[in-house]
Amino acid sequence: MPECRYRTWVEISRSRLVANYRAICDLVGPQVTVMPVVKADAYRHGAVEVSRTLEQAGARWFAVSSVEEGVALRQAGIRARILVMADFLPFEREAVLEFDLTPVIHRLEDLAAWERMAERYGRQLSFHLKLDTGMGRLGIREPAEAIIAALKRCPSLNFEGLMTHFASAAHYDTPQTEQQLARFKAVAEQLAAVGFRPRYQHLAATVPIAYGRKETWGNMVRPGQAIYGYISPVRGPAPAPLLKVEPVLTWKATVLDVKELPAGSPVGYGAMYWTTRPTRLGILTVGYGDGYPHRLSNRGRVIAAGRIVPVLGAVSMDLTAVDLTHAPEVRPGDAVTLLGREGRVSVDAHWIAKASGTISYNVLCSISSRVSRVYVD
């Protein structure tokens, strides 16, 4: 096994990232712009490096959550358009302009404020408008007439995009997505009838892309998870997914120590585990301080020398114990895989999410800054 240079690290495959992006582009076709979502540091894959790689692969738009995330990409030299999706506060307005970010507007009063900014700076400013079509989070809920009246008061703005977000895209057992889509279409048609036809209409994140809900694609899609190689399981009568993607991130840790414990020995905090036979215990350089879920105490699995081995006892802040009895060749200094694949066995973010009572997004986003990042081809 190669020598470890880090205590715990993630390896991010650029070629898989690009392959996932291309698979999405191929699925949606050339009429639909693919805007990779790189919020939350690209689901901890590293927003700058992910955006650089995808920009080279042809991406012309990226979506982030906050102005701060957008500014970081600009400062790293990203030149593609950057959409700020999760709103901004008055103190962030200047930075939106200065760093050439494209805001999503979520309230009609903000539209008026943005118009005043455009007038003050003598520039035509682009924005996307978000409708709350039934998710009950951010977005405009007013009727189309009110939106039209507000847009008419904004001659200095370029209304470039109309968007919404689905609350239950993975739930094929509820009509919520259809209802949201119908609401979106009704408002879009009323706006179009008086001449407001934004260049982009976008509604779909990973699930409606992957499951081929074409009526939601508009002419722009916003994949996050799929870019990183994940598609959430859906429930209810769903068609087979059309998209094939592969996880981009592999998470590894190093074996610090290996020791033999006799039967009947406690392991770790709270003696949550007692050995039932002589046990070869491996101590790993990872814990919940790195984002390895504490909930994996006595439940987790890692891959050691190509075999799945169980976590024993409590995951602590910096260390985790595993049972290496059946992986006798593993020595201190060797690497094990916490998340990823070795040969035919794999542990992915879906599995960790299930075992720790959360969702795969949360598993990826929890990987802490203490975990080094290595980009590989």
Indicate which residues carry an active-site annotation: 39, 269
User: Of residues 80-139, which lie at the interface with ligand PLP (CB under 6 A)?
Assistant: 85
The tokens for 120 are 């003050």
Minimal distance, residue 33 CB to ligand PLP, in Å: 14
The tokens for 16 are 């898989």
Amino acid at 308: I
Specify the residue, 85 or 353, whose C-beta has the smaller distance to ligand PLP: 85
A 10 A CB-CB count for 314 gives 21
- CA dihedral of residues 118, 130, 202, 47 (deg, nearest 10): 80
Q: What is the DSSP letter of 3?
A: P
Minimal distance, residue 310 CB to ligand PLP, in Å: 30
Interface with ligand PLP (CB under 6 A), residue from 140, 222, 323, 339: 222
Q: How many residues interact with ligand PLP (rule CB under 6 A)?
A: 11
C-alpha distances in Å from residue 228, one per residue of 36, 183, 215, 216, 349:
10, 30, 24, 21, 11
User: Of residues 191-210, which lie at the interface with ligand PLP (CB under 6 A)?
Assistant: 205-206
**Is there a contact between 342 and 348 (Cβ–Cβ < 8 Å)?**
no
> In sequence order, what are the beta bridge partners of 33?
220
The tokens for 366 are 């929890």
Amino acid at 235: R
Helix and strand numbers, DSSP H then E, in the chain: 11, 19
Binding mask 138-177 for ligand PLP (x = CB under 6 A): ---------------------------x------------
Specify the residue, 225 or 356, whose C-beta has the smaller distance to ligand PLP: 225
Please work out, in degrees rounded to the nearest 5, the angle formed at the alpha carbon of residue 82 by the alpha carbons of 76 and 83: 145
Minimal distance, residue 249 CB to ligand PLP, in Å: 14
Q: Which stretch binds ligand PLP (CB under 6 A): 9-17, 148-156, 217-225, 340-348?
A: 217-225
Minimal distance, residue 203 CB to ligand PLP, in Å: 9
Q: Which stretch binds ligand PLP (CB under 6 A): 223-231, 240-248, 301-309, 344-352?
A: 223-231
Measured distance CA(28)–CA(220) in Å, rounded:
9
71 binds ligand PLP (CB under 6 A): no
Measured distance CA(346)–CA(22) in Å, rounded:
24
Q: Which stretch binds ligand PLP (CB under 6 A): 144-152, 219-227, 316-324, 350-358?
A: 219-227
Minimal distance, residue 165 CB to ligand PLP, in Å: 4
Q: Which stretch binds ligand PLP (CB under 6 A): 47-55, 224-232, 252-260, 328-336?
A: 224-232
Q: Which stretch binds ligand PLP (CB under 6 A): 218-226, 234-242, 245-253, 368-376?
A: 218-226
Q: Which stretch binds ligand PLP (CB under 6 A): 192-200, 220-228, 237-245, 364-372?
A: 220-228
Specify the residue, 16 or 165, whose C-beta has the smaller distance to ligand PLP: 165
Minimal distance, residue 224 CB to ligand PLP, in Å: 3
52 binds ligand PLP (CB under 6 A): no
C-alpha distances in Å from residue 5, one per residue of 20, 156, 283:
28, 54, 17
**Residue among 264, 281, 295 at smallest CA distance from 325:** 281
Specify the residue, 61 or 273, whose C-beta has the smaller distance to ligand PLP: 61
Measured distance CA(366)–CA(356) in Å, rounded:
12
Helices (H), 76-233: 93-98, 108-121, 144-152, 176-193, 206-210
Specify the residue, 52 or 222, whose C-beta has the smaller distance to ligand PLP: 222
**Is there a contact between 339 and 353 (Cβ–Cβ < 8 Å)?**
no
The tokens for 40 are 């939350």
Q: Give the CB-nearest residue to ligand PLP.
A: 224
Specify the residue, 224 or 300, whose C-beta has the smaller distance to ligand PLP: 224
User: Of residues 322-361, which lie at the interface with ligand PLP (CB under 6 A)?
Assistant: none
Measured distance CA(373)–CA(11) in Å, rounded:
6
Q: Which residues bind ligand PLP (CB under 6 A)?
A: 37, 39, 85, 165, 205-206, 222-226
